[in-house]
Amino acid sequence: MLDLSKKRICVTGGSGFLGAALVACLRRLGCTAVFVPRRVDYDLTTADGLERMFADSQPEVLFHLAAVVGGIGANRDNPGRFFYENAIMGIQLIEYARRSGVEKTIVAGTVCAYPRVTPLPFREESLWDGYPESTNAPYGIAKKALLVQCQAYRRQYGMNAIYLLPANLYGPGDHFDRNSSHVVPALIQKFFEAKQSSVETVVCWGDGSATREFLFVEDAARGFALAAQHYDDIEPVNLGSGEEISIRDLATMTARLWGYEGEIVWDPSKPNGQPRRRLDTARAEQHFGFRAGISLHEGLVRTIAWYRHEMLRAEAAVRGA
C-alpha cells in the first residue's frame, strides 16, 4: 500500500469538479502536501507551464484530472479544441512526470473512449474494438492516447502510471452551464428554471432512449484515492456504479424530485450520443476494493439540494447588493 499521507502530491484540475472532491478526500486521508496548479498560473498545454508546475510542486504522486470537457453540444462545437488541448496537455505532462522521476502517476481517462457500440457491460478489453461515438470521438481518442502512453512508458521506462475510466460524473459542485454542461446538471437546471417560471413544457435533447451510468463525484474521488494506494498494474480500470438508466427515465426522476408537473418533450433532431453505457466494475473491486456507495436517487437528491442552496444564496446576494 502506498501511504499517500507521506507524499508530495500534485492534482491537475484540483480546483475543478472531480479534482476538488479528490483533494478533499486526500485531506481526509491525512495528506498535507497537496499542490493544486491553477490554469491562470500554469497553462498545462505549454512546456513553460509544465516546467514551472513540476519545479514548484516537486510531486512524488501526480493525479492528472485536468481536461477540456463538456456535454454533447460542447463536444460537437469544439472537436478540434477538445482533441488538441487534451492530447497535448496529457502527453507532455506524462513525459515531464517521467523525466522528473514521479513515483506514481494516476491518469483520468473517459468512458467516451469506448467504441460507439460496445457489448454491455463495458469491459476494459473492449476499448479497442471500434471507433468511439462520433459526437465525442475527438475527446475520447485524445484521452485514450494517454492510456497507450502510460502503457508504453511502463514497458520501456518502468514508469508506474495507471489509467482509470470513470463513468459519467455528477454531484454537488458540478458545472452548470446551459451551453456546455453534462446531462445531469443540464436537466437539474432545466427543471429548476421551469418550476420557478411555471413553464408548462420542458424540451430535452434526443429521443430519451440512450442510457447512461452515473457515478457520484465523491465515490469517484474515493476510487481514485484507492487506486493510487493499491493499484500498480498496466491495465486500465473502470470506475462506475453499475447502475444503468435511460435519459428519459433520468429526466422523469429529476422532474419529480423538483416537483415539476409539466410536460417533457423530446427533440429527436438533437443527438442522443452513444446508445448505451454500463461499465463492468469487477476489476476495480477485485484489485483495490472499490464499490460505489451512493445510489443515483440519493446522489440526485443531494445534488439538487446543493443546487437549490446555491441558487438561494445567489438570489440573497443579488437582493443584498
> What residues are labeled active site?
139
Q: Cα separation of 321 and 319, whole Å?
A: 6
Match 456535454 to its residue by C-alpha cell: 71
Phi and psi dihedrals of 46, rounded to 5? -120, 150
Q: Cα separation of 301 and 254, whole Å?
A: 9
Continuous H helices in the chain: 17-28, 47-57, 72-77, 79-100, 137-157, 183-197, 217-230, 247-258, 282-288, 296-320
Q: Cα separation of 238 and 116, whole Å?
A: 17
Handedness of CA 271, 273, 275, 276 (dihedral sign): negative
C-alpha cell at 2: 502506498
Contact 168, 214 (CB under 8 A): yes
Q: Cα separation of 38 and 57, whole Å?
A: 12
Q: Cα separation of 302 and 14, whole Å?
A: 22
Phi and psi dihedrals of 151, rounded to 5? -70, -40
Helix count and strand count (H, E) for the chain: 10, 11
Nearest Cα to Cα of residue 244 among 122, 132, 159, 131: 122
